[in-house]
């Protein structure tokens, strides 16, 4: 079988880096091309080839991606950021290779947190109550004001005093529920079947998972929520549901990421291998292997990529430069 060429976007972030590490752990005959908006990041050493690209919402992103795909003979694109997922899904017909992303209708809905609320409310799917700032009338005991199309945990405001000062086209008000935060990764096959899921409780540091533990007690309720989503939304492949578990055991989702999420490198070691399922379906055209989820706990640590005898980072764009991990 000929060598396959995979393009992973957003390799400067933990999602993209986790995707690449998962691919490498499979010991396949593949070459990995990474892209990012910055020339040099902690993900460069993981890539066989690297290309700098514009932000997905800037002019030239799609043209540059097409150029890279042609140059590297890319067989599959795996986007790792919400905006890249959305724009690549929108322009899917311009590419000669598959893109591991849901239908554009789904990526558009889940890119915008307020549109997510509107969509879920329309079909009676659980989601934290939300309203635009100009329409807020103090109907919630506690609120979190967040960008509608925020990235990570940037721009959040807890119980702000002047909600009306935030613009409707940029922000939304969401009811803030007290309880334990959980994150659920799930995978939907091309036949629109829920292939499996894994749920973890977690603690966060700077908006990203720091520690996590596999839990099983909420799987039945979460499966019911995801099945409702599948029934009314053209969502495919890997996705992530973030929820709060209240004191009475209610599951209240507050965000959906229509892509592979940041704990992919952790959960693959607990039997839920959504990166592998993605390659099986979209690169090799075979049925994804069955998840066998096991219990476990994980904590993230900080490591260093060291490039000896280098005077600057100008040419440190891929794995050809001598380096080591410390």
User: How far is residue 165 from each of residues 115, 130, 134, 169, 171, measured CA to CA in Å?
Assistant: 21, 17, 8, 12, 10
**Residue where the block lists tokens 């229509």:** 258
- Give the whole-angstrom CA distance, residue 171 versus residue 134: 10
Please give the torsion angle defined by the CA atoms of residues 97, 50, 21 and 268, in that order, rounded to the nearest 10 degrees: -40
Contact 23, 6 (CB under 8 A): yes
- The H-or-E segment that residue 131 falls in is strand 130-131
Residue 117's pLDDT is 97
Q: How far is residue 218's CA from residue 246's CA, in Å, rounded to a whole number?
A: 12
Side-chain-side CA neighbours of residue 165 (13 Å): 4
CA distance 52 to 35: 6
Low-confidence ranges of the chain (pLDDT < 70): 1, 151-153, 206-207
pLDDT at 232: 98
pLDDT in tens, 132-156: 999 999 999 999 999 999 766 678 9
pLDDT, tens digit (0-9, with 9 covering 90-100), for 205-252: 766 788 999 999 999 999 999 999 999 999 999 999 999 999 999 999
Enumerate residues 6+ apart whose C-beta is below 8 A from 110. Answer: 82, 116, 235, 239, 256, 257, 258
Residue whose token pair is 């040419």: 315
The confidence score (pLDDT) of residue 210 equals 86
Q: What is the pLDDT of residue 306?
A: 96
pLDDT of residue 208: 75
Domains, the chain, ordered by start: 4-101 (3.40.50.720), 107-112+178-299 (3.30.470.20), 129-175 (no CATH)
What pLDDT score was predicted for residue 155?
A: 85
pLDDT at residue 207, as a whole number: 67
Residue 122 pLDDT: 98
């Amino acid at each position: 079988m000929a060598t396959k060429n995979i393009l992973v976007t957003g390799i400067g972030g933990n999602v993209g880096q986790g995707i690449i590490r998962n691919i490498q752990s499979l010991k396949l005959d593949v070459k990995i091309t990474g892209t990012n908006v910055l020339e040099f990041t902690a993900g460069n050493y993981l890539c066989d080839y690297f290309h700098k690209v514009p932000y997905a919402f800037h002019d030239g992103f799609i043209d540059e991606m097409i150029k890279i795909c042609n140059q590297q003979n890319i067989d599959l694109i795996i986007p790792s950021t919400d905006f890249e997922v959305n724009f690549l899904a929108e322009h899917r017909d311009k590419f000669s290779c598959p893109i591991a992303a849901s239908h554009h209708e789904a990526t558009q809905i889940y890119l915008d947190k307020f549109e997510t609320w509107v969509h879920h409310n329309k079909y009676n799917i659980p989601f934290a109550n939300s309203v635009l700032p100009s329409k807020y009338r103090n109907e919630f005991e506690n609120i979190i004001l967040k960008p509608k199309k925020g990235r990570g945990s940037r721009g959040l405001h807890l119980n702000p005093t002047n909600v009306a000062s935030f613009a409707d086209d940029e922000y939304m008000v969401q009811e803030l529920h007290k309880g334990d935060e959980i994150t659920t990764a799930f995978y939907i096959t091309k036949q629109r079947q829920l292939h499996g899921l894994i749920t973890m409780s977690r603690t966060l540091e700077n908006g990203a998972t720091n520690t996590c533990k596999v839990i099983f007690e909420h799987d039945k309720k979460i499966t019911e929520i995801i099945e409702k989503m599948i029934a009314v939304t053209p969502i495919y492949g890997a996705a992530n549901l973030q929820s709060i578990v209240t004191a009475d055991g209610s599951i209240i989702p507050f965000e959906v990421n229509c892509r592979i999420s940041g704990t992919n490198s952790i959960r693959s070691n607990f039997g839920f291998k959504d990166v592998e399922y993605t390659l099986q379906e979209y690169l090799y055209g075979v049925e994804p292997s069955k998840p066998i989820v096991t219990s476990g706990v994980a904590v993230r640590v900080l490591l260093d990529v060291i490039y000896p005898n280098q005077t600057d980072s100008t040419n440190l764009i891929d794995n050809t430069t001598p380096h080591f991990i410390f």
